[in-house]
Chains A and B, each alone.
Chain A
Amino acid sequence: MRQLFQNLKEYKAYLGYAPKSILKTEVADTYLNWLWWFLEPLLFMLVYTFIAGFIFSKKVEYFPIFVFIGLNCWNFFDRSIKRGVTLVKYYKGIFSKIYVPKYIMLLVQMFVEGIKIAISYLLVIIMMFIYKVPLTWHILEALPLFILLFILSFGGASIMLHFGVFIKDLANIVTVILRLFFYLSGIFYDIGANKTIANNALYSTILLRVNPIAMIMDGLRNCLLYGQSPDWLAVGIWTVLGVLLCAFGVHLIHKYESGYIKIS
């Protein structure tokens, strides 16, 4: 763990500069340039509002924001994990030429996603004004939830990074598993309000507490939209587990990373 912080300090400059430059290249040569950073989430929001509102016609309060909060939360986790699995292959050019702790590049990618998500949540706040969501001090409780989301994503992705080097088709399997979790996490529906699930205590605990992403999503919606506190016990437990995941992932990478490039 000490080595992790030492490395973070050493590559601080790069971690600050590289995500910005990646974001810049993504919009370079488009007509609207950096406006895309706002337009893209906005358009996606419209798409999901349309699909969810007209096709599913759900009666959840502030439904478009409800979907958008969940979706962004999910996207961050999903993309971090997927990036992790293919990271060594993706950065082979760099890794075969110089030594960089592998998770530094993972963090760069996660920061890129993080900045995108931050912009999306700015839109959430704007939407909250438009939909006249009552503002409460519970909004501040979203911050620890974001931190937990980051910890869990980094932990999961760093472990995937390690195994992704040794197992070729891990990416395919991870995609399927993530899709399953996507539907289990209640992005388009309220897990708590679904009668079949809510009436069965076992289901609802498993879906809301054992699946950390659903738990975070639920917490975010509660504190941003409905003026309620998240489930702090579950948040606490998952934070401890998340830190352990990170420690395990970082340990794996430190131990085996100099062998990665010989294999792929």
Chain B
Amino acid sequence: MEDAIIIKDLHISYRTVQAASIFKALFKKEKKVKKFDAIKGISLTIKKGQIVGLIGKNGSGKSTLLRAVANIFKADAGTIDTCGNTVQLMSIGVGFQNDLSGRENIYLSGMLLGYTKEYINEQLDNIIEFSELGDFIDQPVRTYSSGMYSKLAFSITSTLESDIILVDEVLSVGDVNFRKKSYARLKEMINQEDKTVLIVSHNSNTIRELCSHAVWLNDGILKMTGEVNEVVDAYEDFMSKETEKKRLQKEAAKKK
């Protein structure tokens, strides 16, 4: 099978206080830079058509990895090769103008994501229908409830297509019915054969259900990768042990 994403020895760190005042920039040669390593050397290959779940506790570098693949973050060392595929991070409501109508925002957001006007015209009815907004589509977005807002946003991002889809916890959108519908849409999207999908979620059940493979990150290091149930089982086992350890530590501290 063809490779879709090849990651080689990836390092990414954040510099929290690097933006400095002009005096510091000019006169202080030693800069105090707080460096936080989010990803410390990950190598990974994802094949075309695979649906891969990224799991790990908070701050383990999942979202950072996703953003690096989407070309939002620069790698400090190592490389990411997406083999010429188009990549899209599914994110909610990018480039929305609150004073414009929902319809205009579909164009605005779609064009910002790099689609042509013709393509958006084709998909317009689809998007409006899926969003369940009805007549509200011609009202300014600022009059929407937060549920309506995210419904529209999800409809846009899930209708426009790309070869590699990156999903970062976008499944909790709208009311119960819409959530079911968007879950079904996501499933439909990622089950197309030629799509490569990377999903970040804290919910292990979601990962088990949607994904074929899983990658477990821990503190910026690749802990385990393989078939989804194996990895998630190991992860859950590890996490319950962690909680147990913490509980014991707390109790010990109390006793003292």
Q: Using a CB–CB distance below 8 Å, which chain A residues touch chain B?
A: 10-11, 13-14, 17-18, 21-22, 24-25, 28-29, 93-100, 165-170, 173, 258-259, 261-264
Interface of B is mostly: loop
Contact B114 A261 (CB under 8 A): no
Tell me whether A261 and B73 are in contact (CB under 8 A). yes
Q: Is B111 in contact with A17, judged by CB distance below 8 angstroms?
A: yes
Interface of A is mostly: helix
Q: Is residue B52 within 8 Å, beta carbon to beta carbon, of the partner chain?
A: no
Known: A22-B97, A24-B100, A97-B72. A262 touches B112 (CB 8 A): no
Q: Which residue of B lies closest to A256 (CB)?
A: B74
Within 8 A of A (CB), among B5-39: 14-15, 18-22, 25
Shortest beta-carbon distance from A109 to chain B in Å: 14
Query: How far does the alpha carbon of A144 sit from the alpha carbon of B71 in the complex, in Å?
Result: 38
Q: A94-B94, A97-B91 are in contact. List 5 more A-B contacts (CB 8 A).
A: A22-B97, A100-B112, A166-B19, A169-B22, A263-B15
Q: Scan residues 210-225 of chain B and give those whose CB is less than 8 A from a CB of chain A.
A: none
Which of A17, A99, A169, A263 is B72 in contact with, Cβ under 8 Å? A99
Q: Mark B181-211, 1 if CB is under 8 A from A, else 0.
A: 0000000000000000000000000000000
Q: Kindly identify which residue among A93, A166, A167, A259 contacts B74, using a CB–CB cutoff of 8 Å.
A: A259
A25–B72 contact, CB under 8 A? no
How many residues of chain B are within 8 Å of chain A by beta carbon?
Answer: 34
Q: Which residues of B contact A100 (CB under 8 A)?
A: 112
* In the complex with contacts A13-B111, A28-B99, A166-B20, A96-B25 CB distance below 8 A: no
- Cβ of B71: which chain A residues have Cβ within 8 Å of it? 99, 258
Q: Which residues on A sit within 8 Å (CB–CB) of B97?
A: 21-22, 25
Cβ of B113 under 8 Å from chain A: yes
Q: Mark B100-112, 1 if CB is under 8 A from A, else 0.
A: 1000100110011
- Contact A99:B70 (CB < 8 A) given known A14-B112, A24-B100: yes
Inter-chain contact A261/B72, CB cutoff 8 Å: yes
What are 5 A-B contacts with C-beta separation under 8 Å? A14-B108, A24-B100, A28-B99, A29-B99, A258-B72
Contact pattern, B 103-127, Cβ under 8 Å of A = 1, otherwise 0:
0100110011111110000000000
Is the CB–CB distance between B22 and A173 below 8 Å? yes
CB pair A25–B99 under 8 Å, yes or no, is yes
* Contacts A21-B100, A166-B18, A264-B19 given; does A98 touch B108 at CB 8 Å: no
* Closest chain A CB from B25 CB (angstroms): 6
Q: Which residues of A contact B108 (CB under 8 A)?
A: 14, 17-18, 21
Whether, in the assembled complex, B4 has its beta carbon less than 8 Å from a beta carbon of chain A, the answer is no
**B residues in contact with A168, CB < 8 Å:** 19-22
Question: Which of chain B's residues have a CB closer than 8 A to the CB of A173?
Answer: 22
* B89 lies within 8 A of chain A by Cβ: yes
| Residue of B whose beta carbon sits closest to that of A26 | B99
B41 interfacial by beta-carbon distance below 8 Å: no
What's the Cα separation between A263 and B89 when bound, in Å?
21
Known: A18-B111, A28-B140, A169-B22. A262 touches B104 (CB 8 A): no
Contacts known (A10-B114, A18-B108, A18-B112); A262 close to B22, Cβ less than 8 A? no
* A21 and B104 within 8 A (CB): yes
* B147 interfacial by beta-carbon distance below 8 Å: no
Please name all residues of chain A whose beta carbon is closer than 8 Å to the beta carbon of B140 when the two chains form the complex: 28
* Bound Cα distance A167, B19 (Å): 5
Say yes or no: B112 contacts A94, CB within 8 Å.
Answer: yes
Known: A168-B21, A259-B74. A98 touches B89 (CB 8 A): yes
One of B21, B94, B111 near A167 (C-beta < 8 A) = B21
Chain B residues contacting A263 (CB-CB under 8 Å) are 15, 18-19
Query: Is B78 on the interface with A (CB-CB < 8 A)?
Result: no
CB <8 Å contact, A11 and B100? no
Greatest chain A CB density within 10 A among B20, B22, B70, B98 is at B22
Q: B117: shortest Cβ distance to chain A, in Å?
A: 5
Residues of B within 8 A of A11 (CB): 111, 114
B159 to chain A, nearest CB (A): 16
